[in-house]
Amino acid sequence: MADLQKGSKKLLNAWAFYDWANSVYTLTIASSVFPIFYEALFTERDHYIDVFGLHLKNSALISFVTAVAFLLVAFISPLLSGIADYVGNKKSFMKFFCYMGALSCMGLYWFNLENIYMGLAFYFLGLIGYWGSLVFYNSYLPDIAFLEQQDKISAKGYSLGYIGSVILLIINLAMIMKPKFFGITGTEGEAAMKAMRYSFVMVGVWWIIFSQYSYYFLPKGNKNAERKVTHAVIFNGFKELKKVWGLLQVDIPLKRYLGSFFVYSMAVQTVMLVATYFGAQEITWSSKAESTTGLIICILIIQLVAVVGAVLTSKASEKFGNIPTLIVINCIWAVFCTLAFFITLPIHFYVMASVVGLVMGGIQALSRSTYSKLLPQTEDTASFFSFYDVAEKIGIVIGMLIYGIIDQITGSPRFAIVFLGVFFVIGIILLKRVPKKGVLN
């Protein structure tokens, strides 16, 4: 383990490189290959399945499972981040969730409708592993970067994530489209499904291997390594959250920003999680092969454009301020959700994918760095970022439940996407209420 000073280029790059390692999860599992694989399992039947004693639409089912997973993450993240901050071993927790998530991705190889509960368990644990590790990853930002470095290195992390995940997705796409070239046997449909299963294993291996670079350079935590976890410390995280909540009552800019973030992030994350399911069910593809290819191409477009979006957003925030830039991005998201109701053709989906990519990377990177800039001077960064993560996770729980319920009742996700647009409008209104504070405005 290297011992590098705060602000060192090597340390900043090592932190950002974790995005390269873990973003393959969001692209392959959350956004592209797994949703396509999951939809393909239902090609010989309708989109409904009897599970948990209910007759559920497949996309509603995955929405509800996702919501429950995020609810669990929202509960355990303050618990664990408080312990990590007290003991000073946030890297150990980050590793635990990383490895759990990666191994669960590999477990998706065995996902099928006959053993739906086991498959959903792997999906559930993979999601918890990914988001659980992010609690500690995000909390490192103010520890390793000075204020003036945070926008740039946050954007660099997202950019590295997009580039790395696109590289693996292109390999996976080649495997799915030309399985025989890779020695994958079976009929065309069977070989493509095998290739998708192999891609889940590749995600887990990629995640574990490339994360080692970050772990080598990242510090163990703060200066409390000699402390031991006792029964009194177990709920220390919730005590820390209560303390953070008290500080928020007098820190109006931070409090109002968190309120706005809670609302618009709910919509952003939900749209990103359900976009591929929407494309698979609502776009008029000429064939199953065109659907698979088209959806993955759309995801690739989003990722590539997102690299540009993250960089442009960082530059825009330098010139115009963080809050005005976030307001503009939310306006674009609101328009997108309205137009999504009317798209039916593949070309429509490609155009919308380009728009989503441009604002997706920007809003994520800028939201994280804006929050970091608003934090008061403290060593309890994990507790403050736990608050940030809890707001994000509870927002996703609400967003996924809304999407799932509307999808289940109407049989179509179009109304749900439009409804999510309302949250972007509310987010804009709340962002306008954030008091001006230096470079943020």
pLDDT surpassing 90 at residue 117: yes
Q: What is the pLDDT of residue 66?
A: 93
As to burial, measured by CB atoms within 10 angstroms (0-12 exposed, 13-18 middle, 19+ buried), residue 16 is buried
pTM comes to 0.81
Q: What is the pLDDT of residue 261?
A: 92
What's the rounded mean pLDDT across residues 310-331? 88
Task: Choose from 55-59, 81-85, 202-206, 218-222 the range with maximum mean pLDDT.
Answer: 202-206
pLDDT surpassing 80 at residue 289: no
pLDDT surpassing 80 at residue 266: yes
Q: How many helices (H) and strands (E) does the chain have?
A: 16, 2
From CA 166, how far away is CA 98, in angstroms rounded? 20
User: Are the C-beta atoms of 227 and 84 separated by less than 8 Å?
Assistant: no
Tokens 């970091």, located at residue: 372
Question: How confident is residue 129, by pLDDT bands cut at 50, 70 and 90?
Answer: very high
Question: How confident is residue 143, by pLDDT bands cut at 50, 70 and 90?
Answer: confident
Q: What is the pLDDT of residue 379?
A: 64
Q: What is the pLDDT of residue 65?
A: 95
pLDDT surpassing 60 at residue 146: yes
User: Is residue 406 in some structural domain?
Assistant: yes
User: Is residue 4 in some structural domain?
Assistant: no
- Residues 382-438: pLDDT tens digits? 677 777 878 888 989 999 999 999 999 988 888 889 899 999 999 999 999 888 765
* Residue 298, CA atoms < 13 Å, CB-side half-sphere: 29
Q: What is the pLDDT of residue 68?
A: 95
From CA 375, how far away is CA 251, in angstroms rounded? 9
Question: How confident is residue 233, by pLDDT bands cut at 50, 70 and 90?
Answer: low
Q: What is the pLDDT of residue 382?
A: 63
Q: How far is CA 74 from CA 80, 219, 281, in A?
A: 11, 25, 30
pLDDT surpassing 80 at residue 303: no
Q: What is the pLDDT of residue 118?
A: 94
Find the domain containing 353 and state its range: 9-222+231-440
SS3 content of the chain, % helix, strand, coil (to 5): 80, 0, 20
Q: What is the pLDDT of residue 437?
A: 62
Q: What is the pLDDT of residue 380?
A: 63
User: Is residue 153 in some structural domain?
Assistant: yes
How does DSSP assign 97-141, residue by residue?
Answer: HHHHHHHHHHHGGG--STTHHHHHHHHHHHHHHHHHHHHHHHHTH
DSSP lists the bridge partners of residue 56 as 49
What's the rounded mean pLDDT across residues 271-285? 86
Q: What is the pLDDT of residue 232?
A: 59
Question: How confident is residue 34, by pLDDT bands cut at 50, 70 and 90?
Answer: very high
pLDDT surpassing 70 at residue 237: no
Q: What is the pLDDT of residue 202?
A: 97
- Which has more pLDDT, 33 or 155? 33
pLDDT surpassing 60 at residue 206: yes
Of the candidates 185, 236, 198, 176, the one whose C-alpha atom is nearest the C-alpha of residue 105 is: 198
How many separate domains does the chain show?
A: 1
Q: What is the pLDDT of residue 32?
A: 83
Q: What is the pLDDT of residue 21?
A: 94
- Residues 334-347: pLDDT tens digits? 998 999 889 889 99
Give residue 192's Cα distance to chain centre: 26
User: Is residue 2 in some structural domain?
Assistant: no
User: Are the C-beta atoms of 31 and 299 separated by less than 8 Å?
Assistant: yes
Q: What is the pLDDT of residue 313?
A: 86
Question: How confident is residue 87, by pLDDT bands cut at 50, 70 and 90?
Answer: low
pLDDT surpassing 80 at residue 1: no
Q: What is the pLDDT of residue 186?
A: 85
- Which has more pLDDT, 59 or 80? 59
pLDDT surpassing 80 at residue 4: no
From CA 16, how far away is CA 129, in angstroms rounded? 18
From CA 434, how far away is CA 323, in angstroms rounded? 8
User: Is residue 1 in some structural domain?
Assistant: no
Where is average pLDDT lowest: 46-50, 52-56, 386-390? 386-390
Q: What is the pLDDT of residue 188?
A: 80
CATH number where 39 lies: 1.20.1250.20
End-to-end CA distance of the chain: 39
